[in-house]
Structure 1
Amino acid sequence: MPELSRRRALTAAAALATAAGVTTVTALTASASEDPGHPQHAGHPGHPERSEHSGHDQHAPASFDEVYKGRRIQGRPASGGAHQHHGGGYAVFVDDVELHVMRNADGSWISVVSHYDPVPTPRAVARAAVDELQGAALLPFPAN
């Protein structure tokens, strides 16, 4: 039997890490797709329905207005403005300050505060921002 070399050990470790990462991503994708606020196209999980003519979702996220951990969070269809392109025509606010959000190609949402933690809905992105801010005020995001 051949002796285990450093190269073979590292190759095996990389293969195991890759397999574990794929399993984690698959589990996260499956749990996100179970969220009732996550629009999906039947037969194509993770891909929101899009109108052929408008390029916008046929089922836009619902508006919300609530207090979460003592902070007022709101979300509603955007009425124009500089950030409409990235947010897909949807605006999110924390204590009446707009939270810059972006919708990813897979339908998940991120914000300038929690950029590396995609979530399934605008409400979830607002809550994640409140969690990340830990009581600090959200400052307005400068328009370029």
Structure 2
Amino acid sequence: MSRPSRRLVLHRGAAGLAGAVLAGPAAVAAAPAAHARPAADKDHPRADGPAGHEMPEPFDEMYEGRHIEGWPEEGGHGGHGGHDGPHEGMGFVVRIDNDDLHVMENANGSWVSVVNHYETFTSPRGVARAAVRELNGADLVPVVTG
């Protein structure tokens, strides 16, 4: 059996190290979630359980220099949300500087957007605020459906 070359050993070692470095933060971030629930704050509340499932209140405000607004939309599924959430058939329109932010209510009553798809929020207002922070001054790009 032939021995691996120094180049092959270094390449595999570097690939393994890179994998460990990239997986490390994910493993560390996932580990606390399995045992402890971080406390919610007012701008990024946790939303992992039903909280009465009332339709969120409309909002219209300036947040970090951006105009955010949102309101319920009858008929739902108009590209703004509703899918299988507790308010099926109802959507919620969210706009940042008059551009639509696609939001969706999850089955457990939490909300997500195309900007923060892997974070859940208790309200469309929280989703809009998080999107403003994530955009960091950039404009929303329209979601093309078709």
Do they fold alike, i.e. is TM over 0.5?
yes
Q: Which segments of 5 or more consecutive residues in structure 2 lack a partner in the other structure?
A: 1-27
Check conservation: 2:82, 2:105, Cα contact below 8 A. Answer: no
Identity, % of aligned positions: 44
Match of 1:78, SS?
strand
The residue number in structure 2 matching 1:52 is none
Q: 1:48, CA displacement in angstroms? A: 4.6
The structure whose Rg is larger is: 2
**Cα distance in 2 between the residues matched to 1:85 and 1:123:** 15
Structure 2 length-normalised TM: 0.62
Name the residue aligned to 2:79: 82
1:108-123 aligned within 5 A: 108-123=110-125
Aligned length, in residue pairs:
108
Q: CA deviation at 1:20?
A: 3.1
Whole-angstrom CA distance in 2 between matches of 1:82 and 1:116: 18
Runs of 4+ in 1 over 6 A off after TM superposition: none
TM score, norm. by length of structure 1:
0.62
**Runs (5+) with no aligned partner, structure 1:** 1-16, 50-56
Residue in structure 2 matched with residue 23 of structure 1 by the alignment: 35
Q: In structure 2, what is the equivalent of residue 69 of structure 1?
A: 64
Cα displacement (A) at 1:124: 0.5
CA contact 1:47–1:106 (8 Å) conserved in 2: yes
Displacement of 1:79 in angstroms is: 4.2
On the 8 A contact 1:94/1:126 being kept in 2, the answer is: yes
Moved more, 132-141 or 78-87: 78-87
| Residue in 2 that maps onto 1:3 | none
1:106 to 99, 108, 129: 108
- Corresponding residue for 1:136? 138
Amino acid at match of 2:80: H
* Deviations, residues 26-85 of structure 1 (Å, cap 9, x unaligned): 345xx38xx7xx9x9xxxx82254xxxxxxx5x210000000011000010114433344
Higher relative contact order (CA 8 A, sep 6+): 2
Q: What do you get for the CA RMSD once the two structures are aligned?
A: 2.8
